[in-house]
């Protein structure tokens, strides 16, 4: 028999930074590279294994696989938006409550559909159902890749959105949205240190270096071009 459902990132100190992971949480990690998302997926998947929880991995992108030992499903993004949504939702409905999920990097969907709007719509259709079924789900998305309206839909729909930075071979996390948790964690960068410890970064020079290395746009109102705009610009 499975243990009582106790959602976790697999990193107890990160759970504390986020004021706990709860049933229904959708967690979006904004990363610069797939390896940074993978670093967070691994402890989450290991915790699922230890707890005896069902973990489903949606494998659809052309990047290397994130997990080798999870229950894997292969929805076909190339078959189009409607087919992909139906395939994903069929798995979710069949799996039922208290299931754990990992999705490949969602940025692949925008490339497959040539539409950031479609990516946002997929998230808006999928995230609430995962919430209703008391699941916990990991999504990765590449930072500074998608238009502001698409990312706005994702931000407004999810429970967590967390920036992940890499600087001097160390990972740093910055919660952007923490729904129904303490606002004290928001926008405070934490260094991921040895043995799974997370230390708040309060030195302004270090913060400036981290953000500079991440190509953070700051307060500039630079619009990120959508897929069609990029194609027209390249023509």
User: What does the pLDDT read at residue 4?
Assistant: 83
What is the per-residue pLDDT for 223?
59
The pLDDT of residue 186 is: 78
The burial class, CB within 10 Å (0-12 / 13-18 / 19+), for 194 is: exposed
In terms of phi and psi (left: phi > 0; alpha: psi -120 to 50; beta: otherwise), the region of 118 is alpha
Cβ-contact 50, 232 below 8 angstroms = no
Nearest 5°: CA angle at 99, between 23 and 159?
35
- The rounded distance, in Å, linking the Cα atoms of 98 and 91 is 13
- The predicted pLDDT at position 221 comes to 47
In sequence order, the β-bridge partners of residue 197 are: 193
Strands (E), the chain: 26-31, 55-58, 71-73, 100-105, 136-142, 160-167, 170-178, 190-193, 197-200
From CA 73, how far away is CA 95, in angstroms rounded? 12
* Global pTM value: 0.91
Residue with tokens 């076909």: 76
CA distance 166 to 213: 8
Coil, helix or strand at residue 47: helix
Q: Yes or no: say if 178 and 186 are a contact pair by the CB < 8 Å rule.
A: yes
Task: Provide long-range contacts, Cβ within 8 A and 24+ apart, for 182-190.
Answer: 182/19, 185/17, 185/18, 185/19, 189/165, 190/17
CB neighbours (10 Å) of residue 177? Answer: 16
Question: 12-234 falls under which CATH superfamily?
Answer: P-loop containing nucleotide triphosphate hydrolases (3.40.50.300)
**The pLDDT value given to residue 216:** 57
- Between CA 150 and CA 147 the distance in angstroms is 5
Mean pLDDT per 10-residue section of the chain, whose length is 235 residues: 81 94 97 97 97 97 96 98 98 97 98 96 98 98 94 96 93 92 81 94 88 64 57 53
The single-letter DSSP state of residue 181 is S
First to last CA, the chain: 59
């Amino acid at each position: 028999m499975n243990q009582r459902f106790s959602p976790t990132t697999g990193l107890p100190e990160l759970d504390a930074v986020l004021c706990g992971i709860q049933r229904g949480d959708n967690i979006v990690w904004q990363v610069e590279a797939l390896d940074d998302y993978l670093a967070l997926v691994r402890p989450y998947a290991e915790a699922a294994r230890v707890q005896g929880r069902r973990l489903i991995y949606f494998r659809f992108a052309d990047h290397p696989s994130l997990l080798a030992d999870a229950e894997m499903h292969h929805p076909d993004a190339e078959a189009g938006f409607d087919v992909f949504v139906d395939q994903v939702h069929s798995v979710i409905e069949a799996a039922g409550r208290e299931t754990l999920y990992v999705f490949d990097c969602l940025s692949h969907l925008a490339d497959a559909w040539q539409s950031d709007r479609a990516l946002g719509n997929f998230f808006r259709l999928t995230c609430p159902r995962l919430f209703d079924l008391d699941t916990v789900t990991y999504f990765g998305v590449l930072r500074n890749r998608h238009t502001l309206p698409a990312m706005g839909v994702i931000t407004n729909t999810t429970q967590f959105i967390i920036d992940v930075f890499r600087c001097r071979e160390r990972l740093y996390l910055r919660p952007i949205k923490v729904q129904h948790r303490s606002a004290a964690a928001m926008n405070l960068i934490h260094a991921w240190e040895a043995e799974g410890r997370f230390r708040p970064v309060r030195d302004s020079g270090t913060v400036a270096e981290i953000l500079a290395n991440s190509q953070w746009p700051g307060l500039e109102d630079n619009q990120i071009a959508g897929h069609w705009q990029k194609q027209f610009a390249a023509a």
